[in-house]
Chain A
């Protein structure tokens, strides 16, 4: 944590995730309680007009949660807001990226670091994007 420079304009080290697998989507459905079958059943996904099963948007937001915890620790995440822009499919390789937009003192000895954050796929498309705030010493 202490090695990451949280300075406005600076990019923070990316988090590259393993390729999305169908097993991961089944696990995420069970763990999250989101059993919408468009995430696990091809027939349902096609009937809904999708090209195939798609990942839960909340899974990519979960990756951003992991990314922020990597920067600030499990106690340090204050806010995360995202928009889901594009579908994620099994086989996609997602990378979490972020840039510091501002740093301000909390007045209680710490700092709040605001970041622009996004998840991009292997084609460089920002599938999920938004902003976050973390605490920093």
Chain B
């Protein structure tokens, strides 16, 4: 389907992710971050929410056509082993720009909210992906 402004507002179903000790350790090791709290798998590194992979609602694109433009995380507190995080993802903007070399590019801005089981906000994410 076309990537256009009709997608704005499309929202995913909520999905719950368990923050696991082993996953934290593997993530910290891949980055090469030696912090003992990460290597013990107790606290998750700041960019750990990227592991909560969810399809972007309504969007089906060949991954080879997608570039990652921007990413933002705002945290209420760090995630910890044992947290259960319920995420909802929503398309908040779609716009077109003409690239210098790549021709027309479509920018899709997706926001994610992660909440604990009581509904308290843990973090917000905002990604801009570029479809070429």
The answer, yes or no, to whether B8 is at the interface (CB within 8 Å) is no
Q: Which residues of A contact B (CB under 8 A)?
A: 17-18, 24, 27-28, 30-34, 36-38, 44, 47-48, 56-59, 61-63, 65-66, 68-69, 74-75, 77-84, 130
Interface centre among B65, B66, B69, B70, by most A CB within 10 Å?
B70
24 A-B pairs with C-beta separation under 8 A = A18-B32, A27-B26, A28-B30, A31-B30, A33-B51, A33-B53, A37-B64, A44-B64, A57-B68, A58-B68, A62-B46, A62-B47, A65-B33, A66-B33, A66-B35, A68-B46, A75-B43, A75-B77, A77-B46, A79-B73, A80-B73, A81-B73, A81-B126, A84-B70
* CB atoms of B46 and A58 under 8 A apart: no
**In the complex, which range does the number of interface residues on chain B fall in?**
20 to 34
Report the bound CA distance from A133 to B29 in whole Å. 24
Main secondary structure of the interface of B (DSSP, over half): mixed
- Which B residues are closer than 8 A to A by beta carbons? 23, 26-27, 29-33, 35, 37-38, 43, 45-47, 50-51, 53, 63-75, 77-78, 126
Asked whether B64 lies within 8 Å of A48 as measured between CB atoms, the reply is yes
